[in-house]
Amino acid sequence: MTKKKSSLVTSLVVVFLISVLYAFLLNKLSPDMQGGPILIQFFGIVYLWGAGVLGLIFAKREGISLPIFKKPNKTFWLTPLFTLLIIGLAFVVTIPFGILNGQNPVIENMGGVALTFVAVISYVVITILGSFLFLGEELYWRGYLLEKLKKYGALRMIGTIAILWALWQLPFLLVSYDPMSSSMKGPGLGILTNLALTPLLFYYRLKGKSIFSSAFFHSSFMAAMVFGFLLFPTSAPKIINMLSLASIGVLLVVSFAMKLFSPSTWKKLL
């Protein structure tokens, strides 16, 4: 095994150990414990940024330059609107299945104007703050690992990283999943969402020529999903999962429309 391959394998082993350790701690820290929620949030940040710091360390050791920030272009600033459109289309797809039967109390107790104002401000703030949180995992998966694997070709690189990234999140999804709760998707839906989201994350990473571009898109999409969930009654996990399935379908359609499964598209970006 060459030195470069050895470094790659070592980094993958460590990043998966971080995932397993996080899942173990999450399982042990019950929300009923004193300080439990705070500790869970803290370890969540360590989980994401543990991967990021690992990517930075290995990149520096191997002399790999990671383009973390770059001056945003006009496409970059339209990202939140794009992700809202994706979730909006997914919501429309679910309407024939009775998804509007009942509403979340948050919507019922607020006026339309007030709710719209709070939603817009919250979405923008969550997207901006979340982008610095998601930057942690993006530094590894669409930063260091991208630079290590891009020599194998775009589609092979994207497919490999998509699978590894989904497996990295699997311990967290398994531990977090509660079939009686509407707050978490099942592990299967979580993995499918990651796989469907991957082409667009790579597109923003390469089109924006910076890792922060993909982190910003990642954050805006997750924020849009959260606001999508607010449209439904909190006691309707099956309906909420329908939004997840519809979002996966819309993501795939968007990727096909943007020709993100074509090698020629990626040759222009790599």
Confidence (pLDDT) at 94: 76
Residues 6+ positions from 130 with CB-CB distance below 8 Å: 218, 219, 220, 222, 223
DSSP letter for 237, please. Answer: H
Residues 6+ positions from 196 with CB-CB distance below 8 Å: 247, 248, 251, 252, 255
Say how many domains are in the chain: 1
Confidence (pLDDT) at 106: 56
The torsion angles phi and psi of 63, rounded to 5 degrees, stand at 70, 30
Task: Assess if residue 9 is contained within a domain.
Answer: no
Q: Three-class SS of residue 87?
A: helix
Confidence (pLDDT) at 121: 78
Both structure tokens of 242: 């329908």
Place of tokens 């509660």: 178
Confidence (pLDDT) at 230: 67
Confidence (pLDDT) at 137: 95
- pTM score, whole prediction: 0.87
Task: Assess if residue 49 is contained within a domain.
Answer: no
Task: Assess if residue 222 is contained within a domain.
Answer: yes
Cα 167 from chain centre: 13
pLDDT at 138 over 90: yes
Residues 6+ positions from 234 with CB-CB distance below 8 Å: 104, 105, 182
Confidence (pLDDT) at 32: 54
Confidence (pLDDT) at 59: 95
Q: In 10 A of CB 49, how many CB atoms? A: 20
pLDDT at 104 over 60: no
pLDDT tens digits, one per residue of 20-33: 998 888 777 655 55
233: left (phi over 0), alpha (psi -120 to 50) or beta: beta
Task: Assess if residue 197 is contained within a domain.
Answer: yes
Task: Assess if residue 117 is contained within a domain.
Answer: yes
pLDDT at 251 over 60: yes
The whole-number average pLDDT for the span 57-67 is 94
Both structure tokens of 155: 């589609």
pLDDT band at 99 (very low <50, low <70, confident <90, very high): low
Domain range enclosing 191 = 68-267
Task: Assess if residue 177 is contained within a domain.
Answer: yes
Task: Assess if residue 61 is contained within a domain.
Answer: no
Confidence (pLDDT) at 6: 81
Q: In 10 A of CB 130, how many CB atoms? A: 19
- Helical pair 3-28 and 36-61, crossing angle rounded to 10 deg: 180
Task: Assess if residue 256 is contained within a domain.
Answer: yes
